Amino acid sequence: MSGTKVNRVSLVQMRSGQKGKIVEINGGCGLASKLEALGIRTGKEITKVSEQLMRGPVLLQHNHTQAALGFGMASRVFVEVNGESKI
């Protein structure tokens, strides 16, 4: 095995500043088309910028664009996070 650990988590579970690649969007065609309009799709590299307390929106960056997703949408987007785990 290599020295890096691969984790698969939702956008909600990511920490601010973490980077990863979107591997799954667990929702219907409506959710997928809304995210596609924002440029968020499977295979894209993203960075989680920030989040709000109490199930608030999640701010992420992809390319040179930032997008805010509500808690419900963010919980359905799964990302493969590379790097060391701080447990």
Phi-psi region of 28 (alpha: psi -120 to 50; beta: other; left: phi over 0): beta
65 class by beta-carbon count within 10 Å (0-12 exposed, 13-18 middle, 19+ buried): exposed
**Cβ count near 74 (within 10 Å):** 23
Per residue of the chain (87 residues), give pLDDT as tens: 455 556 889 999 998 899 999 999 998 899 999 999 988 999 999 999 987 777 889 999 998 999 999 999 999 999 999 765 443
- Cβ(42)–Cβ(65) below 8 Å: no
Could you tell me the pTM of the whole model? 0.81
The CB-side HSE value for 73 (13 A sphere, CA atoms) comes to 20
Collapsed DSSP state (helix, strand, coil) of residue 32? helix
CATH architecture, domain defined by 5-81: Roll (2.30)
Domain extents in the chain: 5-81
